[in-house]
Amino acid sequence: MNTGHLIIVSGPAGSGKTTVCDRMLAEVPGVQRVVTSTTRQPRTGEVDTIDYYFFDHETFKSKVEAGEFYEHAHVHSNRYGTLKSEIKNKLAATDLLLNIDVQGAAQMRETAQNDPLLKGKITTVFIMPPSIEELEARLRGRGTDAEDEVQRRMQVAIEEMQQSQFYDHTILSGSRDEDFAALKKIYEAVKAK
């Protein structure tokens, strides 16, 4: 039976991970997005079950206690996680792309060692900013965060970048086209095995 593969992509805010993941989903046939869960409020235009599964804190907590998540973490005063059902229901038939932070990726790597569905079917990719200065310029260029938030994100980014050594692949971010080509090449190599 042909089973899918799970590509996990992480990187600090401003690294371009969401942009490259969105392009993979749009341009590479046979790859589906893993919809993650959060307790944060939906942003303008976000749709429940499409962008995220939006849960209140109590519902999220009860799902954690019931063992319904592969991974979950507190990030920026909200909770985020990946429901087991979101992967189990799809991985048997298709390849999946999961965009999560370093905490979540570490939990997924650990879980995959003993989970028969995931074992041998995960590839992790870290998107590394070209430099701290470039990352800060990208964050400021968004124009969406106050100065204290930019500084907080920079501190988190430095900590996250130290985790890149635990990933199967690291892409040194360049242009959007270069990042996409690098991720697509990793995916194609995984599929060729």
Question: Worst-scoring range by mean pLDDT, 89-93, 145-149, 179-183?
Answer: 145-149
Q: d(Cα 114, Cα 119) in Å, to the nearest integer?
A: 7
Q: Going from the N-terminus, what domains does the chain have, and what CATH number goes with each?
A: 6-192 (3.40.50.300)
Q: d(Cα 186, Cα 183) in Å, to the nearest integer?
A: 5
* 22-73: pLDDT as tens digits: 999 999 999 999 999 999 999 889 999 999 999 999 999 999 999 999 999 8
Prediction pTM value: 0.90
Please, what's the b/e burial string for 133-147 (b: 16 or more CB within 10 A of its CB; e: otherwise)? Answer: eebbebbeeeeeeee
* 63-80: pLDDT as tens digits: 999 999 999 988 778 999
* 127-164: pLDDT as tens digits: 999 888 888 888 887 767 788 888 888 898 899 999 99
